[in-house]
């Protein structure tokens, strides 16, 4: 599965590294990529990971995620 979250307060390389690291540390997450220009975080994960878990990890890292979208993708 793939989820996308907008993280408007991600502004620099340190933000990118912190957010991606916090999300990838979750069990079931295989990849996280944050585009600083669009502020969009794309997360590839198994079906045990949900938006609440992703949001919590980003909040715990000190950032504020916005909308969450999920779609089934190649596994």
Q: In what order do the strands lie in the sheet with 40-45?
A: 29-35, 40-45, 2-6, 68-71
What is d(CA 72, CA 36) in angstroms, rounded to the nearest whole number?
24
What's this model's pTM, rounded to 2 decimal places?
Answer: 0.88
Beta strands in the chain (DSSP E): 2-6, 29-35, 40-45, 68-71
pLDDT tier for residue 67 given thresholds of 50, 70 and 90 = confident
**Four-point Cα dihedral 32, 27, 19, 67, nearest 10:** 80
Domains in the chain, start-ordered, CATH in brackets?
2-71 (3.30.70.100)
Q: How far does Cα 14 stand from its chain's mean position?
A: 15
pLDDT digits (tens, 9 = 90+) for 13-41: 999 999 999 999 999 999 999 999 999 99
């Amino acid at each position: 599965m793939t989820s996308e979250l907008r993280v408007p307060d991600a502004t620099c390389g340190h933000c990118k590294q912190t957010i991606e690291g916090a999300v990838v540390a979750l069990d079931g997450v295989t990849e996280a990529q944050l585009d600083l220009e669009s502020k969009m975080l794309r997360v590839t994960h198994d079906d045990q990971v949900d938006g609440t878990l992703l949001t919590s990890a980003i909040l715990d890292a000190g950032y504020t995620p916005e909308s969450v979208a999920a779609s089934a993708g190649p596994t």
